[in-house]
């Protein structure tokens, strides 16, 4: 099970909260990640959560994990125009080769003033 699904687009107004959602199929995932890709750049790790956690907060970012529904979300509080980017959900599995990552297709977040 390496299927990671994300909606492709999200548009929010500056100052609002953004919620980016992700579903995955394999319950043996051990770590779930959120990466950010700005235009013309590589991916940057934003945060990750271990599969035995339900929530992780890091400044404006809140990650929620619902293991029963295999659903992961990333909430960005007080979204700014600089948050406009593509956000990728990814997972890794216990014993997988080299901590190999499986990525979703990415959600394009557009923040308008």
Among 39, 82, 99, 113, binds other proteins (CB under 8 A): 99
The pattern of x and - marking residues 29 through 68 that bind other proteins according to CB under 8 A reads -xx--------xxxxxx--x-x------------------
Q: Is the alpha carbon torsion for 15, 88, 36, 54 positive or negative?
A: positive
Q: What letter does residue 63 receive in the DSSP assignment? A: E
**43 vs 63, which CB is nearer to other proteins?**
43
Integer Cα distance of 87 and 4 in angstroms: 13
Q: Which of 10, 12, 19, 101 binds other proteins (CB under 8 A)?
A: 101
Question: Is residue 23 within the footprint of other proteins (CB under 8 A)?
Answer: no
CA angle 66, 112, 61 (to 5 degrees): 30
Least distance from C-beta 96 to other proteins, angstroms? 7
Longest dimension (CA), the chain: 45
Q: How far apart are CA 113 and CA 41, in angstroms?
A: 23
Residues in contact with other proteins by the rule CB under 8 A = 4, 8, 30-31, 40-45, 48, 50, 88, 90, 92-94, 96-106
């Amino acid at each position: 099970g390496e299927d990671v699904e994300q909606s492709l687009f999200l548009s929010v107004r500056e100052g609002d909260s953004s919620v980016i959602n992700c579903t995955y199929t394999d319950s043996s995932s051990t770590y779930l990640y959120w990466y950010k890709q700005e235009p013309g750049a590589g991916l940057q790790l934003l945060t990750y959560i271990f599969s035995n956690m339900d929530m992780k907060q890091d400044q404006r970012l809140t990650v929620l994990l619902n293991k029963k529904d295999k659903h992961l979300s990333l909430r960005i509080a007080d979204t700014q125009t600089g948050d406009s980017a593509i956000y990728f959900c990814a997972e890794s599995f216990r014993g997988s080769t080299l901590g190999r990552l499986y990525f979703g297709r990415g959600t394009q977040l557009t923040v308008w003033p």
